[in-house]
């Protein structure tokens, strides 16, 4: 039986959002930010059925009460219009993601000869 991913509210803490965030949108932003954090890069585009835009690694840690972690900002376009989301990846969520086994690569595509 496959393990379920942690709920988005454990992984990401939204500091500000000019757009309402659905769980799917929050997880999309989390995945882009986590990829940036792991690779140490500055910007990553995001695109899909729910949104298009860019996630920026602000390269600083922030703390809000007892929650702390690396800070990110996303400039997004959704069906409701454009917006900005400022958020952090929680330390608890980062630890959980590091403990999860990596996803297996997709199966190779068949090669056809014509």
Residue 105 maps to a domain:
no
By residue range, what is the domain housing residue 30? Answer: 8-99
Residue 65 maps to a domain:
yes
Beta pairing, strands 67-78 & 52-64? antiparallel
Residue 64 maps to a domain:
yes
Decide: helix, strand or coil at residue 63: strand
Residue 60 maps to a domain:
yes
How do residues 89-112 score in pLDDT, each as one tens digit? 998 888 888 776 666 666 777 776
How do residues 4-32 score in pLDDT, each as one tens digit? 666 656 777 888 999 888 888 888 898 99
What's the rounded Cα separation, in Å, for the pair 54 and 42?
Answer: 10
Residue 86: both structure tokens together: 């400022």
Residue 90 maps to a domain:
yes
**Long-range pairs of 69-73 with CB within 8 A, sequence gap ≥ 24:** 69/13, 69/93, 69/94, 70/33, 70/37, 70/94, 71/15, 72/29, 72/33, 72/36
Residue 91: both structure tokens together: 């330390």
Q: How many domains does the chain have?
A: 1
**pLDDT classification of 86: cutoffs 50, 70, 90:** very high
What's the rounded Cα separation, in Å, for the pair 16 and 61?
Answer: 16
Q: Which residue(s) pair with 68 in the sheet?
A: 63
Residue 110 maps to a domain:
no
Residue 58 maps to a domain:
yes
Residue 93 maps to a domain:
yes
């Amino acid at each position: 039986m496959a393990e379920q991913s942690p709920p988005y509210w454990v992984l990401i803490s939204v500091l500000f959002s000019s757009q309402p965030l659905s769980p799917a949108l929050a997880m999309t932003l989390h995945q882009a930010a986590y990829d940036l954090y792991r690779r140490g890069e500055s910007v990553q585009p995001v695109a899909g059925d729910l949104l298009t835009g860019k996630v920026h690694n602000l390269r600083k840690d922030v703390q809000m009460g007892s929650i702390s972690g690396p800070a990110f900002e996303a400039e997004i376009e959704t069906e409701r219009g454009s917006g900005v989301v400022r958020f952090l990846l929680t330390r608890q969520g980062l630890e959980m993601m590091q403990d999860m086994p990596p996803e297996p690569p997709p199966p190779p595509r068949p090669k056809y000869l014509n």
